[in-house]
Copies of this chain bind each other. A is one copy, B any other.
């Protein structure tokens, strides 16, 4: 199993491309077959498959092939490492604001 920093690195690199982010946005709604994912993009199927390969290697998506149809899903928890890292980079002033927010959720 890759460590936290390797996982984070792979996830950020995978997301540092607008096509791959658009694929993630689509998959957050529901799993999709490859032809559906390809439809909105003006790119060849091999190019899209390459983007999907990068997302899958980074653990952001998983895919399953049944017969000739490959279905791609967002991997649950795939973006947790990045969310956790971002949470750790809050400045002292931001952390204070976060605590106020939790206080308001608890008491309103």
- Chain A interfacial positions (CB closer than 8 Å to B): 5, 8-9, 12-13, 15-16, 18, 21, 24-25, 28, 30, 74, 76-77, 79, 82-83, 85-86, 88-94, 102, 105-106
Task: Please tell me if the beta carbons of B18 and A88 are within 8 angstroms of each other in the complex.
Answer: no
Chain B hits for A77, CB < 8 A: 94
Copies of this chain in its oligomeric complex: 2
Chain B hits for A86, CB < 8 A: 79, 82-83, 86
Task: Please tell me if the beta carbons of A94 and B76 are within 8 angstroms of each other in the complex.
Answer: yes
| A28 CB, nearest partner CB in chain B, Å | 4
In angstroms, Cα B80 to Cα A83, docked, is 11
Task: Please tell me if the beta carbons of A25 and B88 are within 8 angstroms of each other in the complex.
Answer: yes
